[in-house]
Amino acid sequence: MLDIKFVREHVDEVKENIRKKFQDHKLPLVDQTVALDAENREIKQEVQALRANKNKISKQIGMLMGQGKKDEAEKVKAEVAAGNARIDELSEREKQVEAELKEIMMKIPNMIDASVPVGKDDSENVEVERFGDPVVPDYEVPYHTDIMESFDGIDLDAAGRVAGNGFYYLTGDIARLHSAVLSYARDFMIDKGFTYCVPPFMIHSAVASGVMSFEEMDAMMYKIEGEDLFLIGTSEHSMIGRYIDQIVPEESLPLTLTSYSPCFRKEKGAHGIEERGVYRIHQFEKQEMVVICKPEESMDWYNKMWQFTVEMFRSLDIPVRTLECCSGDLADLKTKSVDVEAWSPRQQKYFEVGSCSNLTDAQARRLKIRVKGESGTYLPHTLNNTVVAPPRMLIAFLENHLQADGTVTIPKALQPYMGGKEVLVPKGK
């Protein structure tokens, strides 16, 4: 959410930002915001004037009564009563205006960074850099669920009977590999100086609307029927929500946190065959990183964070690339974002395994998170980034480490988390 003063003073820039995000239907919101803001300020000025007048003339009542001027005193009383009625009327309208203003302001997208390429959707994202050499083996790489099934490592049919499409059972070596990757990612981030956290897996609506747009909430979040609770779509939601309505001492910044959680998402719509299996699902687990920092430090942290993800994937011998997200692919609260994509030998292309985003002060303003510094309070910047999100990451891992004989090699970095195993051998071999 933008600062109302910024919108008031930069109407044309805010509208141009909306155009760059190809959300022209939101352009009227800017004029509505300006009009409501003007009305709100007028109301406050009139209320202030009425209260000042009330305080002034109220002092006359006792004096007039003491002088025996009862009729004049009654006139002053009537004037005070009329002023009180007008204050009550204005105060009620003020509440309505501020509620309307907040609702509209929460629909206006954050200002994108000047470096963000302009484009309509993810098809216009721009490749930035590649890390590692993508390899296409001279033998067939099966579909990822077929690889898992060769190890008796997945049961989609049973999951369908129990919970429906978009769920899975992982078993044996594949389940162990899933947990090993998460544990390795946890320790990787702890070694980077991040504090490990396990947050609540449900959040109140005030937190949900504070960390994402209404459109994202509708597309992603599962609501608990009869309660003011939502299942989190990523631990960033509850990690940032931890500081709602809090004043953070400046000396504690930056807050560098890495969190584990299950994630729950609706994942509406139909998807191609390569996004079936365990690629796009309703439930998965993830290791996340979150940073809350001074505004002047946020771009430095942004670059450090996506580089951590690249480093972790390369430590597991998985080629990756980074894509700069274009304006139309940015969620409303994001000012800049980069996707990390892993190489798929089967598809012979890259696919998304994580995303790093800088949201500047948008979440902090919505959640009323403030920092107390030497010169007063201010809003911090918030950033988030995927460290690793299996089982999608398992697709990249299995495809890149699959051998011609069907075995899967385990990189040295991961072997301690797999009980020292150097290779996984399919059942029956």
Per-residue model confidence as pLDDT tens digits over 185-215 = 999 999 999 999 999 999 999 999 999 988 8
Q: Give the separation between CA 114 and CA 328, rounded to whole angstroms.
A: 14
In the predicted structure, residue 270 carries a pLDDT above the cut 60: no
Do 133 and 90 sit in the same domain of this protein? Answer: no
Contact 368, 244 (CB under 8 A): yes
> In terms of domains, do 342 and 193 share one?
yes
Residue 418's CB is within 10 A of a number of other CB atoms, namely 20
> In which residue are the tokens 């697709």 written?
395
The H-or-E segment that residue 283 falls in is: strand 283-293
Asked whether residue 429 is domain-assigned, the answer is no
Give the pLDDT confidence of 337-387 residue by residue, as tens digits.
Answer: 999 999 999 999 999 999 999 999 999 999 999 999 998 999 999 999 999
Q: Give me the residue label for tokens 């403030």.
A: 370
Position 210 in a domain: yes
Count of the separate structural domains present in the chain: 2
Task: Check whether residue 182 and residue 156 sit in a common domain.
Answer: yes
Query: Mean pLDDT across the stretch 304-329?
Result: 98
Residues 328 and 264 in one domain: yes
Q: Does residue 337 share a domain with residue 210?
A: yes
Instruction: Judge if 307 and 190 occupy the same domain.
Output: yes
Q: Is residue 167 helix, strand or coil?
A: coil
CATH number for the domain that contains residue 10: 1.10.287.40
Residues 6+ apart with CB under 8 A from 360: 110, 111, 295, 298, 335, 381, 382
Alpha helices in 168-297 (DSSP H): 172-191, 205-211, 214-220, 235-241
For 146, the enclosing helix (H) or strand (E) is helix 144-150
pLDDT, one tens digit per residue, over 73-108 is 878 888 888 888 999 999 999 999 999 999 999 999
d(CA 201, CA 347): 34
Give the C-alpha distances (Å, rounded to integers) separating 360 from 187, 216, 336.
Answer: 27, 18, 9
Residue at which a domain ends, from 80, 105, 130 = 105
Q: Cα(367)–Cα(106) distance, rounded to whole angstroms?
A: 12
> Beta strand pairing status for 283-293 and 381-388?
antiparallel
Give, in degrees to the nearest 5, the angle at Cα 342 between 187 and 178: 45
List, for residues 137-157, the tens digit of each pLDDT value: 999 999 999 999 999 999 999
For residue 112, is it within any domain? no
Alpha-carbon distances, residue 333 vs 87, 190, 231 (angstroms): 36, 28, 20
Is 165 domain-assigned? yes
Domain boundary (72, 105, 138) is at 105
Query: Which phi and psi angles does 330 have, rounded to 5°?
Result: -85, 130
88 with 146, same domain?
Answer: no
* Domain extent at residue 181: 122-424
